[in-house]
């Protein structure tokens, strides 16, 4: 097992960016510790895991930790809560900050009590020593200022002396949620709150030509009709009134033609025909290449996928002169603030952005867009707060989608059927158009104003940050040579931004599918084939663990198939292997998923299992059912009927094995399962039916087409 260096020479990245200790934690007079991370709860249990880390490092009971919601007033700026980085970034920073604060207070106690610090002992914040001397963090808190910068060199506790981290504790947000207490932004009422709704075109990017306001004006409770270019909306005393006024406004609107959308039935041709920017992602060469006996070339596609949060996006905003306060479920309060400042042409100091929990978002959905909507409508509310909530239709058509992808892999085989060269090419829009990162805003309403900002075209993060469309495209296997290339579209008729795993799901699906095919042609067991081509023991361990757990390979039964998939998220994060058991002929039923995962130190093992289970089930939904539908003019999958997701009766059994490695720095679990599960299901379909479906989702039509072709 790897050993962590005893004392890291530099500060954890989030702490280096926000070094002041008091920005992370404070002692309150009531025997509590308030902990203020920059990451936010999005249903992943991060707030509990961070509380565990803090309580452990400070030697206090978990119940003494009060977690503060992120806001631009009090929180360290930790960018965005995404990419399975919260434990890695916030967790490490907090662990270090708490270790240093503990050390500072211990020194102070030693001085006050006249005892060497090595003779002191801390239990639940009470510091005691020989001769019955004692004090506490809270007694000492006034004597010590934490308004000082963190320093490198403090060593957090070793794994074996942590009491909480590594154990499954109950999430602190769950009681509120099952008791129906108001906890979500949607349930938050502000004094004097008004309700707003925004009018958006049916056809893609149509412009508002004419707007008759008469109908809306006649609706009881109307406070204002707002129009700025193609951005239009209503403000009302009640939510009901806002809905009615919006309906009336819609009837009074005349729109221009929209812009042409691609042919949803030929996405690969569309993606490959668009102007694009090409980047070589990875290249490996070999001095003496082998002789190519044959080349296997396969194309894989995945469609646009909706975030499809169960809750429509929601925000509140309130103006006070030239200052505005925003309540949001955005994944990044500072980033949203930066974009709002661009649109409003205000200094960031005039804008306060405060987080309130939303429903699971699985990436960049409309959370940020609706915040700007609320800010713009609230300008006409005379200083009263305005709450805006999108409709289901809006959430499914105007929010960014996960980008469609076409992936081509060519594998050169030698005479023995061994892979001697590997080429992987991706055509896709960029996978990220998050706010706060560019000189232009990424928020929908900004593109609709009378003086519009240009529509942002999504980009890809660099490989050093895990890449975007190219995420997980560099193989983890020991092929002698490879060439990996990404073609990022520079046009974007369908709006895309970050969806869970970015390109990781598509690339792992492609790699693990063609590998399965090559192994089968080679007459080799797919588990053995993968193990033979891996050098990383942690990778092999998750594959061995999942194979053992699933009893690989179960005896062949008619109509039943088993398949495996493996990946290490971003090639630097969590290791995950999945085995799918499916049943079916034309309709596929995923009966069981078995997974093994290695996230290093699992802070809250049940939390890790919950995330892996959730990722596995969501991936099953993507693979079997999900595809954003559109004709040439508009998005047509605007309800749950047209965009079905997996239901209770269709959900597979899921078993998860966590390989606990207490001495290895923790990484996130939220996205590890999706690529491996996608591939495992596709490979199980082949095992059951003898056909390869290379276009997602794997529907009845696609299976029939594949059978007809074979």
Cα 425 to Cα 281: distance, rounded to the nearest angstrom = 10
Q: How far is the CB of 654 from other proteins (least distance, A)?
A: 6
Nearer to other proteins, 43 or 83 (CB): 43
Q: How far is the CB of 645 from other proteins (least distance, A)?
A: 6
Helix, strand or coil, per DSSP, at residue 73: coil
Nearer to other proteins, 359 or 445 (CB): 359
Q: How far is the CB of 501 from other proteins (least distance, A)?
A: 14
Cα 243 to Cα 248: distance, rounded to the nearest angstrom = 9
Using CA of residue 9, residue 12, residue 16, residue 21, what is the dihedral sign? negative
The stretches of 252-297 forming alpha helices (DSSP H) are 267-273
Q: For residue 625, what is the enclosing H or E element? A: helix 605-625
Q: Which residues of 122-160 are buried (b: 16+ CB within 10 A; e: fewer)?
A: beebebbbeeeeebbbbbbbeebebeeebeeebebbeee
Cis-peptide into 527, omega within 30 deg: no
Nearer to other proteins, 86 or 459 (CB): 86
Q: How far is the CB of 360 from other proteins (least distance, A)?
A: 4
Measured N-to-C along each axis, helices 674-689 and 700-709 cross at an angle, to the nearest 10 degrees, of 50
Using CA of residue 461, residue 464, residue 466, residue 471, what is the dihedral sign? positive
Cα 328 to Cα 364: distance, rounded to the nearest angstrom = 13
Helix, strand or coil, per DSSP, at residue 296: strand
Q: How far is the CB of 412 from other proteins (least distance, A)?
A: 39
The binding site for other proteins (CB under 8 A) comprises: 42-45, 170-171, 173-175, 177-180, 182-184, 186-187, 189, 238-240, 308-312, 357-360, 362, 389, 391-392, 606-607, 610-611, 613-618, 621, 639-641, 645-649, 651, 653-654
Structure token digits, residue 149: 């910068």
Q: How far is the CB of 212 from other proteins (least distance, A)?
A: 25
Instruction: Report the side by side order of strands in the sheet with 588-598.
Output: 560-568, 575-584, 588-598, 653-658
Nearer to other proteins, 164 or 267 (CB): 164
Q: How far is the CB of 183 from other proteins (least distance, A)?
A: 8
Whether 488 and 659 have beta carbons less than 8 Å apart is answered as no
Length of the chain: 710
What is the DSSP annotation of 243-255?
HHHHHHHHHTEEE
Cα 299 to Cα 691: distance, rounded to the nearest angstrom = 15
Q: How far is the CB of 322 from other proteins (least distance, A)?
A: 32
Nearer to other proteins, 631 or 642 (CB): 642
- Residue at token pair 């009470």: 126
Nearer to other proteins, 10 or 641 (CB): 641
Beta bridge partner(s), residue 351: 324
Cα 280 to Cα 467: distance, rounded to the nearest angstrom = 12
Q: How far is the CB of 311 from other proteins (least distance, A)?
A: 5
Q: How far is the CB of 604 from other proteins (least distance, A)?
A: 10
Q: How far is the CB of 180 from other proteins (least distance, A)?
A: 3
Helices and strands, counts by H and E, the chain? 18, 24
Cα 123 to Cα 113: distance, rounded to the nearest angstrom = 16
Cis-peptide into 697, omega within 30 deg: yes
Nearer to other proteins, 238 or 269 (CB): 238
């Amino acid at each position: 097992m790897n050993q962590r260096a005893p004392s890291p020479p530099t500060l954890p990245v989030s702490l280096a960016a926000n070094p002041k200790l008091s920005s992370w934690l404070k002692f309150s007079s009531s025997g509590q510790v308030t902990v203020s991370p920059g990451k936010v709860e999005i249903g992943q249990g991060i707030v509990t895991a961070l509380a565990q880390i803090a309580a452990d490092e400070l030697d206090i009971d978990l119940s003494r930790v009060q977690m503060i919601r992120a806001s631009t007033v009090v929180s360290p700026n930790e960018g965005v809560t995404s990419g399975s980085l919260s434990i890695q970034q916030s967790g490490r920073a907090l662990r270090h900050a708490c270790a240093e604060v503990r050390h500072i207070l211990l020194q102070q106690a030693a001085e006050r009590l006249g005892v060497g610090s090595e003779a002191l002992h801390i239990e639940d914040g009470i510091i005691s020593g020989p001769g019955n001397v004692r004090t506490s963090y809270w007694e000492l808190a006034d004597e010590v200022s934490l308004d000082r910068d963190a320093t490198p060199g403090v060593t957090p506790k070793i794994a074996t002396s942590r009491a909480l981290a590594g154990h499954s504790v109950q999430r602190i947000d769950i009681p509120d949620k099952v008791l129906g207490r108001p906890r979500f932004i949607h349930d938050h009422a502000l004094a004097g709150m008004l309700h707003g709704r925004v009018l958006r075109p049916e056809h893609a990017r149509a412009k508002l030509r004419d707007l008759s306001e008469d109908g809306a004006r006649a609706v009881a409770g109307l406070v204002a009709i707002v129009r700025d270019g193609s951005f239009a909306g209503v403000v009302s005393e009640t939510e009901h009134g806002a809905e009615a006024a919006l309906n009336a406004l819609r009837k009074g609107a005349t729109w221009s033609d929209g812009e042409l959308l691609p042919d949803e039935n030929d996405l690969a041709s569309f993606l490959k025909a668009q102007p694009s920017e090409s980047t070589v992602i990875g290249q490996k060469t070999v001095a003496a290449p082998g002789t190519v006996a044959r080349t296997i070339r396969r194309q894989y596609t995945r469609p646009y996928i909706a975030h499809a949060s169960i809750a429509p996006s929601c925000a509140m905003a309130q103006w006070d002169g030239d200052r505005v306060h925003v309540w949001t479920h955005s994944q990044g309060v500072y980033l949203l603030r930066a974009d709002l400042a661009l649109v409003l042409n205000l200094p960031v100091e005039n804008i306060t952005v405060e987080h309130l929990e939303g429903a699971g978002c699985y990436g960049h959905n409309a959370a940020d867009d609706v915040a700007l909507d609320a800010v713009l409508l609230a300008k006409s509310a005379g200083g009263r707060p305005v709450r805006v909530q999108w409709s289901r239709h809006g959430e499914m058509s105007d929010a960014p989608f996960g980008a469609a992808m076409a992936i081509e892999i060519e594998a050169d085989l030698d005479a023995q059927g061994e892979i001697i060269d590997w080429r992987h090419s991706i055509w896709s829009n960029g996978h990220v158009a998050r706010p706060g990162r560019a000189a232009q805003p990424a928020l929908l309403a900004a593109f609709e104003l009378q003086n519009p900002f240009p529509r942002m075209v999504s980009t890809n993060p660099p490989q050093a940050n895990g890449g975007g469309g190219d995420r997980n495209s560099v193989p983890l296997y020991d092929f002698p040579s490879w060439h990996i290339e990404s073609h990022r579209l520079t046009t974007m008729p369908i709006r895309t931004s970050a969806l869970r795993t970015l390109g990781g799901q598509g690339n792992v699906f492609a790699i693990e599918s063609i590998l399965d095919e090559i192994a089968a042609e080679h007459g080799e067991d797919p588990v053995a084939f993968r193990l033979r081509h891996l050098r990383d023991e942690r990778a092999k361990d998750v594959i061995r663990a999942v194979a053992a757990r699933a009893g690989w390979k179960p005896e062949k039964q008619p109509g039943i198939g088993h398949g495996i998939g493996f990946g290490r998220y971003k090639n630097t994060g969590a290791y995950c292997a999945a085995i799918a058991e499916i049943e079916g002929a034309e309709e596929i039923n995923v009966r069981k998923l078995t997974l093994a995962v290695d996230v290093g130190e699992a802070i809250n093992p049940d939390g890790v299992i919950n995330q892996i289970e959730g990722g596995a089930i969501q991936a099953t939904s993507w693979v079997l059912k999900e595809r954003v539908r559109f004709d040439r003019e508009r998005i047509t999958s605007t309800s749950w009927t047209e965009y079905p997701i997996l239901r209770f009766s269709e959900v597979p059994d899921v078993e998860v094995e966590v390989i606990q490695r207490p001495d290895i720095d923790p990484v996130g679990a939220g996205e590890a399962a999706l690529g491996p599960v996608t591939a495992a299901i596709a490979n199980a379909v082949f095992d059951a039916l003898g056909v390869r479906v290379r276009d997602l989702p794997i529907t009845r039509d696609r299976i029939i087409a594949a059978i007809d072709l074979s």
